[in-house]
């Protein structure tokens, strides 16, 4: 009796329809309405702001999309064969996603991360059974890239080097997933797409799809304001190794966000919108709000961004205390 009157959640009703693998749950993330937040920051009543809740992916971040696509394509064409180990460098989220996919698909995963990434990230990778290799913290994510190249060069047959910075499957995951989802969830009304640049896969893939649907869609790329501003997950491209998948000509506007602003907006999202997100989400929303505020007051605008992960992996940094 009681069960019949309860409304199942989306997850419950999907699970009840058929058993699924955790990997089937990648993508189709909710689009959250952040318009009240944008208005409270001074955006006009003609502008809407939306954000994809990417922590809803298995592994807790946007990177499940790219990691799974990279593995699927490599398994399909034989680059990731029986007995081989997947190896890559990652500041954390891709590492966690590879570790999760490897656990499901049954191949070993080796991950190179700068020694100073947060304790939670290292623990999560190990929890999924992957092997962690630490690189020089002073060399950041570029140091991790250099170390993984050395390891692969020493024993090439052993590894599938997933190489998320140069692997087209990375941006294709967003071209086939994130972009079409945004298009559908906004009923084709999106006017501005704002995304942080890490490997650049999200920006390039989703941006490319949205641009094809609407050539007038504005693509806004977000980076830390300088080399010293650390926003985990984002790169300051002028001094970083340029990802091979990056397509700079797609950028209509570059926006620079300070680590302090990213932190301020991250805190404001938790306290005024109930969204406990990571700092790259704070950076993305800071830039998206700025875009929204700069639109002429009579212009309709639908600004869409991403919240790449939630704040739980950053607790040990002490910034939320």
200 binds ligand PMP (CB under 6 A): yes
> Using the rule CB under 6 A, which residue among 93, 135, 218, 261 binds ligand PMP?
93
CA 90 to CA 109: how far, in whole Å? Answer: 12
Binding mask 276-305 for ligand PMP (x = CB under 6 A): --x-x-------------------------
Which is it for strands 159-161 and 192-196: parallel, antiparallel or unpaired? unpaired
Q: What residues pair up with 111 in beta bridges, in sequence order?
A: 88, 132
When the beta carbons of 88 and 232 are compared against ligand PMP, the nearer one is 232
Which one-letter DSSP state was computed for residue 243?
A: P
DSSP output for 241-266: PPPTT--GGG-SEEEEE-HHHHHHHH
311 binds ligand PMP (CB under 6 A): no
59 binds ligand PMP (CB under 6 A): no
29 binds ligand PMP (CB under 6 A): no
When the beta carbons of 147 and 310 are compared against ligand PMP, the nearer one is 310
167 binds ligand PMP (CB under 6 A): no
Report CA dihedral (39, 208, 168, 90) to the nearest 10 degrees.
Answer: -10
Chain residue at closest Cβ approach to ligand PMP? 233
CA 287 to CA 284: how far, in whole Å? Answer: 5
> Using the rule CB under 6 A, which residue among 59, 60, 196, 311 binds ligand PMP?
196
Q: What residues act catalytically?
A: 63, 280
197 binds ligand PMP (CB under 6 A): yes
CA 32 to CA 5: how far, in whole Å? Answer: 27
Closest approach of ligand PMP to the CB of residue 6, in Å:
35
When the beta carbons of 48 and 61 are compared against ligand PMP, the nearer one is 61
Radius of gyration (C-alpha) of the chain in whole angstroms: 19
Count of residues touching ligand PMP (by CB under 6 A): 19
End-to-end CA distance of the chain: 45
Residues 215 to 244 in contact with ligand PMP, rule: CB under 6 A: 232-234
User: Within 13 Å, how many C-alpha atoms sit on residue 150's CB side?
Assistant: 9
Under the rule (CB under 6 A), what is the footprint of ligand PMP? 61, 63, 91, 93, 196-203, 232-234, 278, 280, 308-309
């Amino acid at each position: 009796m009681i069960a019949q009157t309860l409304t199942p959640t989306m997850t419950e009703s999907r699970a009840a329809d058929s058993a699924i693998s955790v990997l089937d749950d990648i993508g189709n993330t909710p689009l959250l309405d952040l318009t009240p937040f944008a208005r409270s920051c001074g955006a006009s009543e003609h502008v809407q702001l939306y954000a994809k809740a990417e922590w809803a992916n298995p592994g807790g971040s946007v990177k499940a999309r790219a990691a799974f696509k990279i593995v699927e394509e490599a398994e399909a064409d034989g680059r990731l064969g029986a007995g081989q180990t997947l190896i890559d460098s990652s500041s954390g989220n891709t590492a966690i996603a590879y570790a999760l996919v490897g656990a499901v698909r049954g191949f070993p995963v080796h991950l190179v991360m700068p020694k100073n990434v947060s304790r939670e990230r290292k623990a999560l990778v190990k929890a999924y059974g992957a092997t962690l290799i630490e690189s020089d913290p002073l060399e950041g994510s570029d140091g991790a890239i250099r170390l993984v190249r050395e390891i692969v060069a020493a024993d090439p047959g052993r590894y599938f080097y997933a190489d998320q910075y140069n692997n087209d499957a990375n941006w294709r995951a967003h071209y086939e997933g994130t972009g079409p989802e945004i298009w559908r969830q906004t009923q084709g009304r999106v006017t501005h797409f704002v995304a942080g640049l890490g490997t650049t896969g999200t920006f390039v893939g989703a941006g490319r799809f949205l641009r094809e649907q609407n050539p007038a869609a504005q693509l806004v790329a977000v980076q830390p304001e300088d080399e010293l501003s650390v926003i985990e997950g984002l790169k300051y491209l002028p001094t970083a190794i340029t990802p091979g998948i990056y397509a700079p000509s797609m950028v209509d506007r570059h926006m620079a966000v300070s680590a302090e602003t990213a932190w301020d907006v991250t805190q404001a999202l938790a306290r005024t919108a109930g969204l406990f997100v990571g700092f790259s989400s704070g950076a993305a929303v800071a830039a998206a709000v700025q875009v929204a505020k700069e639109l002429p007051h009579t212009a309709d605008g639908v600004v869409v961004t991403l919240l790449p992960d939630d704040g739980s992996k950053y607790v040990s940094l002490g910034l939320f205390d």
